[in-house]
Amino acid sequence: MHVEVLKGSHKPAMRALVEAIHQEQGLLPQFYWPNDLLGAELATAEALGVFEGETLTGFILYREVPDVWEISLVATHPQYRRRGYMEKLLEHMIAAKGQGRAIWLEVHEENVSAQKLYEKLGFKEVRRRPRYYKDGATAILYSVS
Ligand SMILES: CC(C)(COP(=O)(O)OP(=O)(O)OC[C@H]1O[C@@H](n2cnc3c(N)ncnc32)[C@H](O)[C@@H]1OP(=O)(O)O)[C@@H](O)C(=O)NCCC(=O)NCCS
């Protein structure tokens, strides 16, 4: 298992991983990345991936704004779930951010597995945004600093 900064050449693998999640669970509001939205995000965001050998098992997209890294996408391939890949990737990111910077992300109120992951890594709930998602669900904002 190792972590790498992802480049343009990794985009097909990132798209395939997102597609595998959509195949598994459908296009749910809690992980809503149709092609056009994903293409726009891949074009502008920073990307960090976790690998098993040559295989991309999970990745994160994020933006750097002063003092904050805002995560927009968190995904582990369905075949590689619950093996610590995303924990490893987020731990790497938390260590890399250095002191004085925070990481922010938001999660659908019903996405309990993601909430447990973030809480295990020390993220704290900051606030809630009611009716944030297409299905009317609340977004929970988490932060770690
Ligand atoms: C949420 C997600 C990224 C977790 O990735 P993962 O690589 O399977 O997570 P890890 O194996 O690193 O899990 C680390 C910890 O997170 C928590 N966790 C992860 N999946 C969980 C689940 N299904 N149920 C309960 N806790 C879970 C556990 O605390 C786990 O530690 P443990 O296995 O020692 O108990 C993955 O399920 C996923 O891609 N889901 C679909 C996309 C998504 O919802 N993204 C998040 C949007 S905010």
* pLDDT score, position 125: 97
Distance CA 133, CA 108 (A): 7
* pLDDT score, position 69: 96
* pLDDT score, position 98: 83
* pLDDT score, position 134: 87
From 73, 82, 89, the mutation candidate for ligand 1 (largest count of ligand atoms within 8 A of CB) is 82
From 30, 61, 117, 142, the mutation candidate for ligand 1 (largest count of ligand atoms within 8 A of CB) is 117
> Per residue in 108-131, pLDDT tens?
999 999 999 999 999 999 999 999
Amino acid identity of residue 114, one-letter, is A
pLDDT over threshold 90, residue 99: no
N-term to C-term CA, the chain? 25
pLDDT over threshold 90, residue 27: no
Residue 91 neighbours by CB under 8 Å, 6+ apart: 121
> Per residue in 55-75, pLDDT tens?
999 999 999 998 999 999 999
Three-state SS for 76?
strand
In order of start, what are the domains of the chain with their CATH numbers? Answer: 2-144 (3.40.630.30)
Give the CA diameter of the chain.
41
